[in-house]
Amino acid sequence: MKYEVPVLDPAPVSTGSVLLEADNMEIQFNLRGRTLTAVRKASLQLRAGETLAIVGESGSGKSVFAKSFLGMLDRNGRISGGTALYRGVNLAALKTEQQWLAIRGRRIAMVFQDPMTALNPLKPVGEQIREAAALHRTMDKEASRLVALEMLERVGISEPERRYKQYPHEFSGGMRQRAVIATAIACGPEILVCDEPTTALDVTIQAQILELIKNLQRDMGMSVLFITHDLGVVAKMADRIAVMYAGQVVEEGMADEIFYDARHPYTWALLASLPQLGIKGEDLFAISGTPPSLFRTIKGDAFAPRNPLALKVDFEYEPPFFQVSPTHRAKTWLLDPRAPKVEMPETVKRLRQKLKDKKAEDIAASGTGKAKARKETSR
Amino acid sequence: MTAIENAMAKIDIDPALFERAPFDAANAERTGYERYSYWRSTMRTFLKSPVSRFLLVLMLVLTLFSFIYPLLSSLDPNVVSLDLATWNQRPGKGHGIFGTDPLGRDIWARTWYGTRTSLTLAFVIAFFDVGIGMIAGALWGYVKKLDRIMTEIYNVLTNIPQTVFLVLLAYILRPGFWTIVLAMCATGWIGVARFVRNKVITLRDSEFNVASRCLGTPLKRIISMNILPHIVSLVIMQIALTVPYSIGAEVFLGFIGLGLPVKTVSLGNLINLGKNNFLLYPYQLAWPTLVLSAVTISFYIVGNKFADASDPRNHV
Amino acid sequence: MLYQRLLLPLILFSGARMKAYIVKRFFESLLTVFFVVVAVFMLLRFMPTDGYFDRDDYTEMSEAARNAYLRTLGLTDNPLVQLGRFVVNLAQGDWGRSITVYPRTSISEILLEKIPYSLSFGLSAISISIVLGLLMGILMAQYKDGIVDGVGTAYVVLVRAIPSLIYLFLIQIWVTKLLGWPMLFNERNPVSWILPAISLALPNIAWYAIWLRRFMVDEENKDYIKFAVSKGVPRRTIMFKHVLRNAAVPLVQYLPSQILLTVGGSLIIESIYSIPGLGGLLVYAIRQQDNPLVQALVLIFSVLGIFGVFMGDVLMVLVDPRIKLGKAAKSGGHA
C-alpha cells in the first residue's frame, strides 16, 4: 500500500491562530500482554507564537502525548483514536518513515530531557548540529558548518569554533543542553517540543536554559510545547497552560487564569502542593493516594478517588469540558450549574494573594531595574 | 467536540448525584498497583515464541529418551557381531532403525547411549563450571582485595585460546571422560565467575538493595527476590549452552585422537567413526548426525532464548 | 618481526599518553606470554617420558639407555633449569628438535616451511569473513525480525550449534563432488585453494555477524538515536552514520583476536584437505606424540591469541574518544 507524503498547507499562520490541534486522541501500549491506555481522549490546541505548557505528574501521559506529534512512540505503542491536525495534515494518521520525514525536524523538533544521553558520544558536537542543519536545507558542507557555528553562538556557547570540534563528554551539563537545543533549532522548526528539558539540570542552570528557550522562541518565531511537572518552571515560561491527569487534559487556559482562577480540583491540589506555600510549623500539603492504573477503563472522573471535594456524580459519569472564559475551560462537574458552590482551598487562595503581591511589587520597582533582579532570585 | 460536551451536560443525571461524596483514603491508594512477577514475565517472554516452545519440548524429549532408552531396550550397543551378514546393514527390514555399523552394532542403540553419555558429560561440566564459578565469582565480587589478583588471572586465562588449551590438556593427561571435564572446566569456570562477579557488584551496590535493607526487608527475602532470580537464570543458561559446546569439543577431540576412549559410546565417537565410511554407507554418519544436531540446536536456541527472556529489559 | 612492524607506526603517530599505554599493555601481554610458556612447559614435563622416544626405539632400548638418552636431551635435570635453558634457547630462535614427526630436524626449520601455508589460508579466510560477516551483521540489524534476519540467524545457529567437523567434512564431500573440484589441497592447482579458505571463514562469518548485529541493536535503543530520529534523520543514515559507527567500537576490540584465532577450524581444515600448515602439523604431532613439536606449536598459537587481544585493546583505545588514558587507565581492557 503506497502511503502518500503529506502535503502541508503552506499558508502562513498568523500569531494567535491555531497551529496544531489535537482532538480526542487516544494512545495505547501493549505491555506484558495487556493494553495500557496512556492517553485517554485528550484534546489540545497550540497557537502560533505561544508557549503552551503541559503540566502533570509522572504517568499523566504528557510525554507520550507530545511524542506522538513526532511519531516517536515506542514500538509497542500506537495511536488508537483521535486526530492531530497540523497545517491540514492529520499527524495521527501518518504511518511510514517517509511521511514523517516531512515533519520531523523541519516542522516539529524536540528537545530531550537528558542531555547526557541525547548526544552521540562518539561524534563531535558541532557535527551533530551540522547534520541537523544540512538535512533540511540544500547547502554544501561549509555552509552547513557555518550554520552550525551560528547556532552554537545563538544558544550562548562561547568560543564556538573550539567547541565545535569537541565531544559531548567535554561539555558541562548545562552546555550540553544548550547544544541539544542548538541541534533542535538548527532544523528551523515551526514547533519546538521541550520534554522536561531542565529536569536533569541544576537549579541555577535551569533559569538560564529557560531564558534561552524564551529568547529563541521570540527571535525565531516558533511555538513551544513545554512539558514539565514543575509549576515554578511553568510560571516563568508559559503563555497558556494545560493540566493533564491520568491521560486527559483536565484544565486549559491562559497562565494567569490557571494561577489566579483555577477551577479543577486537581489543579487546586497541584497549586497547593507548592512548597513555597507552606506555613512554618504546619505540615506541607500533599495529594493523597496514587494515580489510577491505566490498564483498566476508568469510570467517571479519574481524579475522584483522591479528591476530598468530589461529588457522587464524579464516580459515575465522566465530566465534560465547561467553558469558564473564551480561553479557559475545565473538565469538572463542579462547574456544572447543578453542582454545589465549592470554594478553592485556603492554600490556593494564599498563592493567589502572594502572586498579586509580587506583581504589585514588580510594577512598583519596574523603573529601578530591581524587578529584573527579583525575578531572577524568585524560584 | 463542544457539541458532544454540551449534549453530555444535558443528559438526564439524577440531581441527587450532585452531592458531596464521602472521601475514602484507602480507595485513593488502591487503584495504582501493578503486580510484577519476574518469573512469570520471564516464562511469558520465553514461551511467546513458537520456536522456543517447540524446541523446549524437543530438547526435553531427546534428553529424557536418551536416559530412559537403556532401561527400555534390550539392544546392547557394544556387542560386536561375528556374523558378516549383519555388518554394514542399511536401516530397515530387521536390521535396526538406523542400521548397523562395520562391526554389526546397532546404530539406533548406539546413538541413544551415545547421547546419554554426551549429555552426562555436558551436565557434569556445567555442574562444575557453575559450582566453582559461582563461589569464585561471589568471593571475587564481595572481597574487594581479591579483585586485582582475580582480574590478572582472568586476563591470563582468557588470553589463552580455548581450543589450544583443550588440546594441550587432553594431550598431557591422556584422553578420557574426566580429562575432558577438567580441560573444559579449567577455562570455563572463569567466565561464569566473571559473570557472577559483575552481578554481585551491581547487586551489592545497587540502590534498590540498599533501600530494601533500609526498609528492614529480611535477608531471606532480599536473597530470594533480588539475588536468586539471577542465579537461577545463570544456571539454566549455562547448562543449556554448555551442551552444544561440550559436544563440539568432544567431536573435535575425537577427530584429533584425543577424545573419549574408542570403547565408550558417545556422539563424538559415533561421528568420527561414521565419517570414515561416509561414501559407502552414508547412513552411519547421517543418523547420529541428525540426532546430534537436534540435540545441540535445541539446547543452543533454548539457552539463548532463555538468556534473552531472563533479562528484565525484555519483559515488555 | 611482523608485530614490531605493525607497532612502529602506532607508536610513532600517537601521542605521549597513548605511547605509554601501548607500551604498558605490551609488557602485560609479554607477562601473559611468559605465564603461558611456563605453564605449558611445566605441564608437558608431567607427561610420561615415552613421548620422547620413537616407538621402535622405546621398545628396543634398555632402561639405562633410555635414561642416558633423556639425560642428553636434558630432561632429567631440575625442571627450573630446564625452563631456563628453554627460554634462553627460545630467545635465540632455537625451538628444539622434533622427535617423531621429522626426527632430529630443527623445529624452527619445520615451522618456517609450514607457516606460509597457514598464513595464506588464514589471511584469505580473514578477509572473506570480515567482509561477509560484517555485511551480514548490518543487514540483519537493519532488517531486524525480517526474512534476512531469520535466514542469518538460522545460519549462525547451524554453524555455532553443530560441531564444525561435521559441516566442514560434509561441505568437502558434497561441494567437491558437485563442482568437480579436487578434494585435497594441491599447491599447483589454484582451484583447490578456494574451498578450504571459504570453509575456514564460515564460523567467523557467523561470529562477526551475530556480534555486530547485537551491538547495533543495542545502540539502536539508545537515546541519542531517538534524538537523531526526531531531528528528521532518515533511518538509513542513522544506521550507517550513527549505529554502525558506534557499534564498531566494541566490535573492534574483539576483531583482532578472532582474526588470529582461526585455530580450531584450521586444525580440522588442514587435516581434511591435507594442507601442510601449522594446524595439520599439530594434529599429526599429537598423534605421533612428539612433545617438543607439540610444545612449540601450542606456544605459537597461544602467542597469537595473546597478541590478538593486545591489538584489540590498542585498537579500541584508538577508536573511542571517550577513553582517557593516564592514571585513570586500569590494567587491560577486559575486567
Give the strand pairing for A328-330 and A248-254.
antiparallel
Of A147-156, C6-15, C45-54, where does mean pLDDT reach its minimum? C6-15
Does any CB of chain B come closer than 8 Å to the CB of residue C36? yes
pLDDT average, residue stretch A283-296 = 83
Residue of B nearest to C289 (CA): B171
Q: Are B1 and A249 in contact (CB under 8 A)?
A: no
pLDDT average, residue stretch C13-21 = 69
pLDDT tens readout for residues B79-107: 777 777 777 777 776 667 788 888 888 88
Q: List subunits contacting chain C, requiring 3 or more Cβ pairs under 8 Å.
A: A, B
Specify the higher pLDDT residue, C237 or C97: C237
Is residue C333 scored above 50 in pLDDT? Answer: no
pLDDT tens readout for residues C131-150: 999 999 999 988 888 899 99
Average pLDDT for chain B: 82
Q: Residue C193 — pLDDT band, cuts 50, 70, 90?
A: confident
Specify the higher pLDDT residue, A361 or A259: A259
Does any CB of chain C come closer than 8 Å to the CB of residue B218? no
Which residues from A are below 8 Å from C227, CB to CB? 110, 112, 118-119, 180, 183
CA distance A96 to B267: 51
pLDDT average, residue stretch A306-330 = 89
Specify the higher pLDDT residue, A53 or A2: A53
Q: What is the share, in percent, of chain C residues with pLDDT greater than 90?
A: 14
pLDDT average, residue stretch B28-56 = 81
- Nearest Cα neighbor of B314 from B102, B42, B70 is B42
C-alpha cell at B109: 542403540
Q: Are C256 and C309 in contact (CB under 8 A)?
A: yes
Interface contact A24-B28, CB threshold 8 A = no
C-alpha cell at A318: 465522566
pLDDT tens readout for residues A333-360: 888 888 888 888 887 888 888 878 877 7
pTM of the predicted protein model = 0.80
Q: Are C305 and B159 in contact (CB under 8 A)?
A: yes
Interface contact B163-C267, CB threshold 8 A = yes
User: Which of A43, A44, A293 should one mutate to test binding to chain B, selecting the residue with the greatest count of B CBs within 10 A?
Assistant: A293
CATH code given to domain B51-314? 1.10.3720.10
Which residues 54-73 of A are in CB contact (within 8 Å) with C?
A: 70, 72
Which residues from A are below 8 Å from B21, CB to CB? 304, 310-312, 314-315
Which residues from B are below 8 Å from A314, CB to CB? 21
Interface contact B194-C161, CB threshold 8 A = no
Q: Are A8 and A212 in contact (CB under 8 A)?
A: no
- Nearest Cα neighbor of B231 from B196, B182, B257 is B196
Q: Give the closest of A105, A118, A121 to C232, CB-based.
A: A105
- Nearest Cα neighbor of B188 from B212, B216, B205, B165 is B165
Specify the higher pLDDT residue, C100 or B164: B164
pLDDT average, residue stretch C53-81 = 69
Which residues from C are below 8 Å from A110, CB to CB? 227, 230
CA distance A359 to A348: 17
Residue of B nearest to A309 (CA): B20
Of A120-129, B60-69, C41-50, where does mean pLDDT reach its minimum? C41-50
Q: Give the closest of B5, B28, B315 to A288, CB-based.
A: B28
In this prediction, residue C283 carries a pLDDT of 81
Highest-scoring range by mean pLDDT, A355-364, B7-16, C136-145, C178-187: C136-145
Which residues from C are below 8 Å from B251, CB to CB? 163, 165-166
In this prediction, residue B117 carries a pLDDT of 92
Does any CB of chain A come closer than 8 Å to the CB of residue C246? yes
Specify the higher pLDDT residue, B228 or C235: C235
User: Which of B48, B155, B173, B313 should one mutate to test binding to chain C, selecting the residue with the greatest count of C CBs within 10 A?
Assistant: B155
Alpha helix stretches (DSSP H) within chain C: 2-13, 16-45, 55-60, 63-72, 79-91, 107-142, 147-161, 164-179, 191-220, 223-231, 235-237, 245-259, 263-272, 278-287, 291-319
Does any CB of chain B come closer than 8 Å to the CB of residue A290? yes
Which residues 4-63 of B are in CB contact (within 8 Å) with A?
A: 4-6, 8-9, 11, 13, 15-21, 23-25, 27-34, 41, 44
Of A274-278, B3-7, B283-287, where does mean pLDDT reach its minimum? B3-7
Q: Give DSSP secondary structure letters for A255-288.
A: HHHHHHH--SHHHHHHHHT-GGG--TTSPPP---
Sorted by where each begins, the domain ranges of chain B are 51-314
Interface contact B23-A308, CB threshold 8 A = yes
Sketch out chain C's domains with CATH numbers. 1-100+288-310+324-335 (no CATH), 107-282 (1.10.3720.10)
Other beta carbons within 10 angstroms of residue B50's beta carbon come to 8
Specify the higher pLDDT residue, B152 or A175: A175
β-strand partners of A23: A83
Does any CB of chain C come closer than 8 Å to the CB of residue B155? yes
Specify the higher pLDDT residue, C209 or B11: C209
Does any CB of chain A come closer than 8 Å to the CB of residue B1? yes
Which residues from A are below 8 Å from B15, CB to CB? 338
Is residue C326 scored above 70 in pLDDT? Answer: no
Does any CB of chain C come closer than 8 Å to the CB of residue B247? yes
Interface contact B31-A338, CB threshold 8 A = no
Which residues from A are below 8 Å from C249, CB to CB? 122
Q: List subunits contacting chain A, requiring 3 or more Cβ pairs under 8 Å.
A: B, C
CA distance B277 to C221: 51
Determine phi and psi for A328, rounding to 5 degrees. -130, 125
CA distances from B257 to A280, B269, B272 (A): 86, 10, 10
